[in-house]
Amino acid sequence: SSVSTLGVHESVGEVFPAAVFCDALSAVDPSVQIVGGEGSAGSRGDGENDELAACDALVTFAYEDRFLDADLTWIHSIQAGVDRFPFDALADRNIALTNSTGIHGDVVGETAVGMMLSFARRLHTHRSNQERGEWRKPAWNDAFPLRRESACVVGLGTLGTGIATRASALGMDVTGVKRTPTPVDGVDEVYPPADLREAIGDARFVALAVPLTDDTEGMVSAPELDAMREDAYLINVARGPVVDQGALVDALDSGAVAGAGLDVFETEPLPAESSLWDREEVILTPHAAGFNVEYYERVATIVRENLRRLAAGESLTNRVV
């Protein structure tokens, strides 16, 4: 049934200003109002002050348990990954959950392949030297061309194909891992998850693009890192717990792998005491691979489409629960 009041949770401000997002929805039928986060003035549940109670649908970045007890019929996550949401509890209460997959393939693909370019062309080292005012050329055998290097992309959805097509465009040999190992454009060979170690064993770059699920948690642990080439780089733009971070630190220490490009971590923000901060062959980004000036408009497009579908009695797109 159609939505009368759509809430925009202030946590969307982690990614774009809530007011800018509301402007992008100015032409929709429901009234759109910003909902304060837990502990804010509007979240006390005291009658007219309870912003959430006025909404029958909510667009949000954060998850809060009080969402379950509001009168929501639909929650939209502005992230593609919805691992923070309790699927069973939402289903029990008939609250639909939709995510924002489908919109990050280009930007996250650019970030992941940008990390590959940086490792190959030593841009990260040059930038570090620049900060110290040092003019220093790389060793003769440090830098390498990306062309004909190999990348294995684990998970071939929106992000994975975004990475694969860009790696392929740079002349790399691309393989991938997919639950149903059917052919994918730009990917030379597709392996099933059971053959993960074989799939990643020959790759100079292993890029992770799977959602965090029971199946993918710890998917890359010590045995997988051992299976990788010693000159290989691990790129994780998926979710931190897909990698056993302690095992990765050990692999970096022992030289089992050459380096890592990491946008996501077991704990975010990455704690100051993490030894990952201080490594030459680690490029860290603060879970920002999807950040771009169009983010709000891309999410608004999904939300507008689902408002239309609800009004027309059609099923939701990007539905997870």
Which residues form the catalytic set? 239, 268, 287
Q: Which of residues 54-93 bind ligand NAD (CB under 6 A)?
A: 80-81
What b/e readout covers 112-149, taking b as 16+ CB neighbours within 10 angstroms?
bbbbbbbbbbbebbbeeeeeeeeeeeeeeeeeeebeeb
Stretch that binds ligand NAD, among 11-19, 120-128, 142-150, 152-160 (CB under 6 A): 152-160
* Separation in Å, CA 268 to CA 141, 172, 178, 247, 274: 35, 32, 27, 18, 11
Binding-site member from 22, 75, 152, 209 for ligand NAD (CB under 6 A): 209
Question: Minimum distance from CB of 282 to ligand NAD (Å)?
Answer: 16
Rounded Cα distance, 41 and 22, in Å: 20
- Assess 321 for contact with ligand NAD (CB under 6 A): no
Question: Residue 90: helix, strand or coil by DSSP?
Answer: helix
- Assess 210 for contact with ligand NAD (CB under 6 A): yes
Binding-site member from 178, 257, 282, 307 for ligand NAD (CB under 6 A): 178
Whichever of 37 and 102 has its CB closer to ligand NAD, that residue is: 102
Whichever of 37 and 193 has its CB closer to ligand NAD, that residue is: 193
Q: Which of residues 230-249 bind ligand NAD (CB under 6 A)?
A: 237-239
Binding-site member from 30, 36, 240, 290 for ligand NAD (CB under 6 A): 290
- Assess 292 for contact with ligand NAD (CB under 6 A): no
Omega of the bond prior to 286 within 30 degrees of 0, cis? no
- Assess 303 for contact with ligand NAD (CB under 6 A): no
- Assess 155 for contact with ligand NAD (CB under 6 A): yes
H-run or E-run covering 174: strand 173-177
Tokens of 185: 């454009």
Tokens of 299: 């999410």
Rounded Cα distance, 203 and 188, in Å: 13
- Assess 264 for contact with ligand NAD (CB under 6 A): yes
* Separation in Å, CA 127 to CA 56, 124, 282: 49, 5, 13
Stretch that binds ligand NAD, among 4-12, 52-60, 157-165, 307-315 (CB under 6 A): 157-165
Rounded Cα distance, 88 and 84, in Å: 12
Residues engaged in binding ligand NAD (CB under 6 A): 80-81, 101, 104, 108, 155-160, 177-179, 193, 209-213, 215-216, 237-239, 263-264, 287, 289-290
